[in-house]
Amino acid sequence: EDQVTQSPEALRLQEGESSSLNCSYTVSGLRGLFWYRQDPGKGPEFLFTLYSAGEEKEKERLKATLTKKESFLHITAPKPEDSATYLCAVRAFKTGGYNKLIFGAGTRLAVHP
Amino acid sequence: SQTIHQWPATLVQPVGSPLSLECTVEGTSNPNLYWYRQAAGRGLQLLFYSVGIGQISSEVPQNLSASRPQDRQFILSSKKLLLSDSGFYLCAWATGGNQPQHFGDGTRLSIL
């Protein structure tokens, strides 16, 4: 069965303390891995798409990497405004041509000054 | 640029009452449209998706239905709400293929 697991569930950092969030997946026929940021009471905001092992994407203090079994979201020198829930999703091939997103439960990140 | 609108932002309904949530997309044509439900501490659950007007696919059998009367309009409905229908409902769109889905700001539905 296709599955996405994110760890840790919650992470508390001091401002400037770099860390990584993990997204491990088991899926048949990966068609892309997506990272989203979600603020409380809001919809998820798209950050990155990764398609193949070894691929990396960067945006400000965030860097996403992908292997054949997992993805990491590295946060360098975080600021309080990086506090949010970070969601990982994978797109698997489904017979019939429709590509479905399977989401993890997310990592709640709190960055304190 | 493309934008997605959902309303209402919050809704409190009694058990057994009907439901209609609306989602519209601007700035794109023939998008794929999706309805998700998000429970606290859990991942987003896909409820319905649509690749065109009148074309609806259901992922999870339940007390809800969806319709797409116009190209950029997606509606989530129920004839009689259950307590278990409470949650955060999100609408999303994508241009198809491997493009990312983009989400609205959701509707917080509470059933009393």
Chain B hits for A36, Cβ within 8 Å? 103
pLDDT score for B47: 93
Domain with A10, as residue range(s), is 3-112
* Domains identified in chain A, total number: 1
A81 vs A60: CA distance, rounded Å: 12
**B105 at A interface, C-beta within 8 A:** yes
Segment A27-86, tens digit of pLDDT: 888 889 999 999 999 999 999 999 999 999 999 999 999 999 999 999 999 999 999 999
In 3D space, the residue among B67, B86, B64, B87 whose CA is nearest the CA of residue B75 turns out to be B67
Residue pair A111/A79 in contact (Cβ under 8 Å)? The answer is yes
Task: Mutation target for B interface from A3, A101, A107: give the one with most B CBs within 10 A.
Answer: A101
**A39 at B interface, C-beta within 8 A:** no
Mind listing the domains of chain B with CATH numbers?
3-111 (2.60.40.10)
Those residues of chain B that have pLDDT short of 70 are 61, 97
Query: How many interchain CB pairs under 8 A, A with B?
Result: 52
